[in-house]
Each structure stands twice: as C-alpha cells, then as structure tokens.
Structure 1
C-alpha cells in the first residue's frame, strides 16, 4: 500500500502523535520520481561521502512534539538530509540555521552533522512540506500536493502548542499555505505574499485555538548566504521575533 498515492492521506490521518506520524512517513513511496531520485542518489553518493550509508528515504520532522515554534523549509537536500536522515543536517543551509538557533539558545549545539550527534532543539520543530529530496531541489506541484497531508497532520498535532511558524523561502511559503488551511487555519484573502520579515496572524476555524503567527524569511540556501541576500543578522532577527511571539525563552541578540 505504501507505493500508492493514497498512502499519505490514510497514513497521516491515522497518526495520533508526531512520533507515530514520523514512523509512518519514512515508509512512503507515493511519488515515483522522488523515490527513484532519492534512492539513486543514495546509491551513487557524492565522492566526499562515499563512506556514508545514505538515509535515502523520506525525511521526517525534527524537534519536540510540543514545540511552540515551527520552522519549515521546502524539501531535503540530496546530499544533506537525504544522506543524514534529519532535516537541514549535513549541508551548508543547516550550518547557518542551527548555528543561529544555538546562538539564540534554541538548540543544544551549533553544528548538525548526523542523526546521532546529540543535537536537541528547545521548543522548536523543523519540518518541510515535501519530505523527499527532489531533482534540482525543486518538486513538481503534483509531488508537493501529494506530500501535503504529512505537513497538514503535523500542524494539526502541534496545534495545542504551536504559536509561530517561520517559512524559509518563497517556494516553501507557497507550499505551506495550503497545508495550514488543511490543518484548520483561516488564511487571509488575498493570501499574504512572501517577503523577508513578512508576518501575518492566523486564526483557527475552531474559534478556540490560540492565534498562529506566520513569518516569512529568505531561505538559508548557500546562494542566498553567499550573495548576502540573507545575512546571519537577518536570519537571527526573524528567528528571535518568532521565538518571542511563540513565548520561548531565548538569548536576545545584540543590536547591530
């Protein structure tokens, strides 16, 4: 059944906790192109990682099940999370993200190298709307839609504690919006456009859940960092504001 496009819908809906969701997610084979790519990449490897046993499966979310702050990218990197099995671990994008979270007191260490490296997140869960590494780092709209039930269910399960979501990049922003709606959050009309530092408050359709604040942030990609489209200070500012909104204790960055 796990090779069916129906698997994400049925398997995600039946998960009662984030841990159970993660356990079901890693068996997903719903998108043939992504399955072929992630497994071929795991077989051929990159020369620098020829001694690694690649994960080569869908990459689950990472962080506590009662996190007030959620950070979402777009999809795992072929030789990053597809190798290590943990979101943003093992690539240059994760280097900046985890170093900044550590600086703010939201991660136990500044580096993320592999699943057993001891890294723990404090009040933060890192996830993505697409859980398999896509060719050219870009999933199709069909693959994005097929994978959506996993993130939607994750957001539902985090609803009692989640107070802020930081979305990294415009593609991720477009993909996260429908997942939020599927999880029961009302989206403004027109939908808010992506931009660095953009923020918008969302209410839940049940009328009782606390508001959720959505933050936009340029992606922590190597290109954005090298061109200084995103600087460490810019990332730190957005994450600190999101942590404050989520009610998390954090180390407030110094001005400048």
Structure 2
C-alpha cells in the first residue's frame, strides 16, 4: 500500500499535500506517539479533543518566504492541528511575524482564531510530533517528499527560506539537493544569521537564512530575543521583494 509520502510528488495543489499529511501513517513510531499524547493529554487541556494526526503546513499559497520549523509540539500543534499554534514557541513566532508584517494578529491559539499569513508559509521537515522532540533521520527522510512537493508548488513565488534551528537547516538543504538545487559542499553550517544563496538549474535562486529556534529553551534564556527574530524576518521580507512593513501591511 502506498503511503502519503509516496503520493506527494503527484499532488497538484498545496491543499492536496495538506490532505496527504493529515492522513499519513508512514512512520509507526510517530503515529503511536501522536495518538498516545492525544489520549493521555495534558491536565490543562483534559477537556479538549486533540488533533492527533499529521499537522499540515499553514499560510499563503503564494508565499515569498517559507519558515521552516522542526516538527509539531506535543500539546501545541498536535493538539490544535496547526503549525506553531497553542504553545510558547508559537506565541514567540507569530508575534514576531505580526510585527514584521506577515501575520494578521500577534497570537495563535486555535485553528479557528482568524489568523491569516500573507507572504509567508510555515512548513516543517516532519509533520508528526516525535518523542522528546527528536525525529530520527529515517523519519525525516520519509517525510521529506511533502516538503519537496510544497517547494515545487511554491516555485513561482518563493525566494527565501527562514530556517528555525539546525535540524530544519539540515533537512531543508537535503531536500533541495534531492530536487537538483546546487547546495554547496561541504554543506553550509547552521547559525543564527547564517545566509546562503542556492541556485537551481532552471535559473531560480533561494536565499536560506538561519535563525535559532523559537523554543522556550532559547527564548527564556535570552539566547534568542524578539529583536533577533524580527531582524531575520525583516531581512527575509527584503530579500523576497515584499513591501516594507507598514500599519496596512500588518492588516
């Protein structure tokens, strides 16, 4: 039986990719864990029904910028069904995206809270919550056709990728190499503020920007400040050729 990742290269739209992600059962360890979390739940969310499936990407279907995360959080995206929604990491990222003109509001609490992204799409190398927030290399590779197909469908508009953390950096560059992009060897090193321009044989260019992940581990210790996130997102906005941030830009 062919699984979602096997079908992803044939998806004609981003919505088709999303539906494949939602129904995916390709990684038994991840399926078991996402369902376990959804059944046991956290005390604060005991009365809520968890999403407990693959979490699709979210945002503008004609994005100039993709924001590449890691994987859904156990009681954030795995609960709400939307990337960077319902947890502390999402609070930091969406607030920054609002300040920099990508998000219609500074909060992300549920799938139906009215949040709209313009000019940006949040994607991930792995679409199911992993134990200890650590997907295996095989799980990342199994999930990669989703990211690959999304990048192909976004090809007419996407010009910049903002990568949150080293895992996403390695995963994105591997996916780009699989798609024929001229990823430098040795692979560029991840770091906050890292920048690498990558070309495609068809003449396209993608600028990849590194940003420390917006996890509490980084934000609560001061390793990553709101201004640092804003600076990377504003640079991405400029490189993608999007209009400067104004009150109207923030909707």
TM-score (norm 1): 0.93
Distance in 2 (alpha carbons) for counterparts of 1:116 and 1:184: 38
Shift in Å, 1:250: 3.7
Q: Is the 8 A contact 1:8 1:146 kept in 2?
A: no
1:242 to partner: Cα distance: 0.6
Match of 2:215 in 1: 221
Distance 2:180 2:4 in 1: 18
The answer as to 2:25 corresponding to 1:29 is yes
Q: Which range is displaced more, 36-45 or 169-178? A: 169-178
**Does the aligned pair in 2 maintain the 1:199–1:213 contact within 8 Å?**
yes
Answering whether residue 56 of structure 2 is matched by residue 75 of structure 1, we say no
In structure 2, the partner of 1:233 is 227
Return the alpha-carbon distance in structure 2 between the equivalents of residues 193 and 8 of structure 1. 31
Aligned residue number for residue 124 of structure 1: 120
Indicate the RMSD between aligned Cα atoms, in angstroms. 1.1
Deviation at residue 251 of structure 1 after TM alignment: 2.0
Distance (Å, rounded) in 2 between the aligned partners of 1:96 and 1:109? 12
Partner of 2:140: 144
Instruction: Report the CA distance between 1:205 and its aligned residue.
Output: 2.2
Moved over 4 A (4+): none
Secondary structure of the residue aligned to 1:38 is helix
Distance 1:243 1:185 in 2: 22
Whether the 8 Å CA contact 2:4–2:23 is kept in 1: the answer is no
- Please, which of 14, 19, 30 is the counterpart of residue 15 of structure 2? 19
Q: Which residue of 2 aligns with 1:242?
A: 236
- Cross-structure match for 1:175: 171
TM-score, reference length from structure 2: 0.95
The answer on 1:165 being equivalent to 2:155 is no
- Please state how far the C-alpha of 1:153 moved relative to its aligned partner: 0.8
Match of 2:98 among 92, 102, 118: 102
Gaps of 5+ in 2: 247-251
Question: Number of residue pairs matched?
Answer: 246
